[in-house]
Each structure stands twice: as C-alpha cells, then as structure tokens.
C-alpha cells in the first residue's frame, strides 16, 4: 500500500514538473483529462445554442476553469496520496485511522501544525508532505503570472491590430488602411512586430497549452482571426501589389507558418502537412473583390492578377488548413476570409484524447 501511495504522489509531482517547470511542450495525461472534463461540461451547456455571443460567453470560462481545475486536481491527488502514506505507515494515535491519515495529510501539506504524527516513519512522511506542499504553492505562485503575462502580451498586439484595421480584421483591410493613412512604407514595422509575436506565441502556447483557449476580452477579437489577417495581408503584399519588396513580410509569413505548425502538431492535428499546390477554401472572387477595392483606393497593383492569384493561393495553402483547424477548435469569430465554419467548437483536439500520448 505504501509503495502504491508513493507511486501516486510521484506520478502527480511528475505531471506538475512537466507542466510547470519543464521549458518544453510536453503534454501529460492528467492535464489532458482535467481539461477535457471542463471542456465537455461547457460544450454540453452550448448544445442547441448557435448565437456567437452566448458561445463566446460560455467558452470564455473554459481556459480559466481548466487552469483552476488542473491546480485543484494536483493538490487533491497529492493530499490523498500522502493520506494513503500516513495510513500505510501506521500511526499509534487513537481514533479512526482513515480520518487520522486525512487530518495528518492536510495539516502537514498546509504546514498548519494543528496535528502531529506519532512515529519516526510518520514524522518523515509529514516532513515530506510539508516540503511538497510548500513547493507546490511556490510553483503555483510563479505559474499563474507566467500564463497571464503571456496572455497579456498576446492581446496587446491584437488590440493594436484592431485599432489599425478594425473588427473583424482582414488582410485586405490592413493594406487599405495603411495606404489611406500614408503608412504603407511603414508596414515593415508591422511584419517585424508580428514575426516576433508568432515566435513568442508558438513558445508560450505549447508550454502553456491552456493559452490556446484563452479568449480575447472583446468577443469579436481573437488571436486566430488576427493571425489570419496578418498572414493574408503579407501574402497580398507579396503577390498582388506592385511595390518595392518588403522582406519582412516574407519573414513574417515564415514565422507564422512555423508557429501554426508547431501548435497544431502539439495538439495532434492535422494528420498531414499542408502543400503549396493544394486548393484553398477562399474563393477567387473574394480575392478579386479585395484587389478591386485596393485598386480603387490607389494602391499600385500588378497587371497580371491571374498570376497574383496563383502565387497568393500557393502561399495561403501553407497556412489556411492550420488556421482552419485552430479556428474550429477554439470557435473563433469569422471574417469574410475565414475558412472554418461557425459553431464547430465541439471538435476535441487529440491533445485531450487520452490515448494520443
């Protein structure tokens, strides 16, 4: 019994270390199960509800509740594990041994000191429980600021994009607004900033996967939609506009595709990598309408727009299926350029299917 209890405590501690301490994207079954329970419970409330405002309001609870539930499950399992250890090593004090073990475990983990064990082995277990309890508290104190700090940095860049482009943001609107404001030649700053954003998001959203499901404070803003806007804007500039080459736009696309690949591979989707010559869901008519609008605003365009469409399609084919997967998974709001369907948040990523890893 003592060996099983010790193994349970060590397994939970390993889950904590892999989720909080290890600076690498390593999912754990315990974290997946906890988040899955929260996700399924919230999606059950949305059954039959199609209006986006209701879905957004309910799904906004998903990541915070999942994060809180994960911390609670860690603490509860460690508490029960040490209670089993106290019961296994035995205590000479009178009373119900199970109740006594539960009291000793809680007193030791929280370092309250209102109850003390009798016996050398019980003392050792009490010291161990106190050390683990304090360590868990210290990790939580550092864990939550790290998660919410990464969330705040992500949202600050998105809010700045919405100020520039409006909501919902699109790549064509990004170019049009920049041209009308006389900032077209300063788009390099946008591409550079979003290159950094993609790199940071790929790191933070795999180290702390709950961030994928944290929703923006404004219901119509979303990190997936913003990423699509910037990638489309860079692709349009590279393929349809007759301007000096902006190398940062190419680097931004590379960083964006790389970040989306890292996140979707971590989540276990898609099953195969996107191909450049694949068909895309975006209709050519949408592309053509955007080009006409840019031309009416005075943006210099290439003469051969059929060639521009072919080149744009090749670039978008690299990220469209990745964006669509994340958009469906997070039930992101849509723009006219979005390729995912509405009301599809019931899709559960393999990250949260227990048999995946």
Residue 146 within any structural domain of the chain = no
Q: Do 84 and 203 belong to one domain?
A: no
Give per-residue burial for 218-255: e unless 16+ CB within 10 Å, then b: eeebbbbbbbbbbbbbbbbbbbbbebeebebbbbbbeb
Q: Do 125 and 197 belong to one domain?
A: no
Inform me whether the pLDDT recorded for 319 exceeds 80: yes
Q: Do 232 and 290 belong to one domain?
A: yes
First-to-last CA distance in the chain?
A: 28
Give per-residue burial for 172-183: e unless 16+ CB within 10 Å, then b: bbbbbbbbeeee
Q: Do 50 and 120 belong to one domain?
A: yes
Average pLDDT for residues 241-267, to the nearest whole number?
A: 92
Residue 118 within any structural domain of the chain = yes
- For 230, the domain range is 166-341
Boundary-marking domain end, from 98, 123, 140: 140
pLDDT digits (tens, 9 = 90+) for 128-174: 999 999 998 898 888 899 999 999 999 999 999 999 999 899 999 99
Across the chain, mean pLDDT equals 87
> Is 349 within 8 Å of 263 (Cβ atoms)?
no
Q: Do 43 and 128 belong to one domain?
A: yes
Q: Do 12 and 109 belong to one domain?
A: yes
Distances (CA, A) of 127 to 122, 325, 334: 9, 48, 54
For the full predicted model, state whether its pTM sits above 0.95: no
Residue 82 within any structural domain of the chain = yes
Rg (CA), the chain: 25
pLDDT digits (tens, 9 = 90+) for 225-253: 999 999 999 999 999 999 888 889 999 99
Per-residue pLDDT at 50: 78
Q: Do 99 and 247 belong to one domain?
A: no
Using 50, 70 and 90 to split pLDDT, how confident is the model at 354?
very low
pLDDT digits (tens, 9 = 90+) for 177-188: 999 999 998 999
- Count: domains in the chain: 2
Residue 67 within any structural domain of the chain = yes
User: Is the model more confident about 50 or about 317?
Assistant: 317
Average pLDDT for residues 217-221, to the nearest whole number?
A: 92
pLDDT digits (tens, 9 = 90+) for 283-311: 999 999 999 999 999 999 999 999 999 99
Q: Do 109 and 42 belong to one domain?
A: yes
Average pLDDT for residues 322-346, to the nearest whole number?
A: 81
31: how many CB neighbours lie within 10 A of its CB? Answer: 24
Q: Do 216 and 91 belong to one domain?
A: no
Residue 18 within any structural domain of the chain = yes
Per-residue pLDDT at 93: 65
Q: Do 22 and 124 belong to one domain?
A: yes
Residue 153 within any structural domain of the chain = no
DSSP 94-105: SS-HHHHHHHHH
Per-residue pLDDT at 180: 94
Per-residue pLDDT at 270: 60
Residue 350 within any structural domain of the chain = no
Per-residue pLDDT at 176: 95
Using 50, 70 and 90 to split pLDDT, how confident is the model at 346?
very low
Average pLDDT for residues 24-40, to the nearest whole number?
A: 83
Q: Do 263 and 304 belong to one domain?
A: yes
Residue 158 within any structural domain of the chain = no
Q: Do 170 and 75 belong to one domain?
A: no
Per-residue pLDDT at 349: 53
- For residues 225 and 169, give the distance between their C-alpha atoms in angstroms, rounded to a whole number: 7
Average pLDDT for residues 11-35, to the nearest whole number?
A: 83
Angle at 272 (CA atoms; ends 205, 285), nearest 5 degrees: 90
> Is 298 within 8 Å of 179 (Cβ atoms)?
yes
Inform me whether the pLDDT recorded for 344 exceeds 70: no
């Amino acid at each position: 019994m003592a060996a099983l209890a010790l193994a349970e405590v060590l397994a939970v501690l390993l889950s904590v270390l892999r989720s909080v301490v290890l600076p690498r994207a390593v999912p754990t079954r315990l974290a997946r199960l906890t988040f899955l329970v929260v996700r399924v419970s919230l999606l059950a409330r949305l059954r039959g509800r199609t209006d986006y405002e209701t879905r957004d309001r309910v799904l906004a609870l998903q990541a915070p509740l999942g994060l809180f539930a994960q911390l609670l499950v860690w603490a509860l399992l460690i508490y029960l594990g040490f209670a089993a250890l106290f019961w296994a090593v035995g205590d000479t004090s009178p009373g119900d041994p199970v109740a006594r073990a539960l009291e000793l475990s809680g007193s030791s983990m929280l370092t309250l000191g209102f109850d003390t064990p009798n016996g050398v082995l019980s003392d050792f277990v009490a010291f161990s429980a106190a050390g683990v309890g304090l360590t868990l508290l210290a990790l939580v104190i550092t864990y939550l600021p790290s998660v919410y700090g990464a969330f705040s940095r992500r949202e600050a860049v998105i809010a700045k994009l919405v100020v520039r482009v409006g909501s919902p943001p699109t790549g064509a609107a990004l170019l049009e607004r920049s041209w009308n404001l006389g900032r077209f030649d300063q788009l390099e700053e946008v591409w550079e900033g979003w290159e950094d954003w993609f790199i940071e998001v790929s790191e933070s959203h795999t180290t702390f996967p709950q961030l994928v499901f944290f929703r923006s404070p404004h219901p119509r803003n979303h990190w997936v939609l913003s990423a699509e806007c910037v990638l489309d804007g860079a692709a349009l500039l590279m393929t349809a506009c007759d301007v000096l080459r902006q190398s940062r736009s190419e680097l931004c696309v590379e960083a964006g595709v790389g970040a989306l690949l890292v996140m979707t591979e971590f989540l276990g989707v898609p099953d195969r990598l996107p191909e450049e010559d694949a068909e895309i869901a975006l209709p050519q008519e949408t592309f053509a309408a955007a080009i006409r609008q840019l031309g009416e605003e005075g943006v210099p365009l290439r003469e051969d727009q059929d060639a521009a469409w072919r080149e744009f399609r090749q670039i978008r084919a690299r990220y469209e299926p990745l964006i669509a997967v994340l958009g469906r998974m997070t039930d992101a709001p849509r723009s006219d350029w979005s390729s995912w369907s509405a009301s599809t948040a019931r899709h559960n990523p393999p990250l949260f299917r227990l048999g995946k890893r």
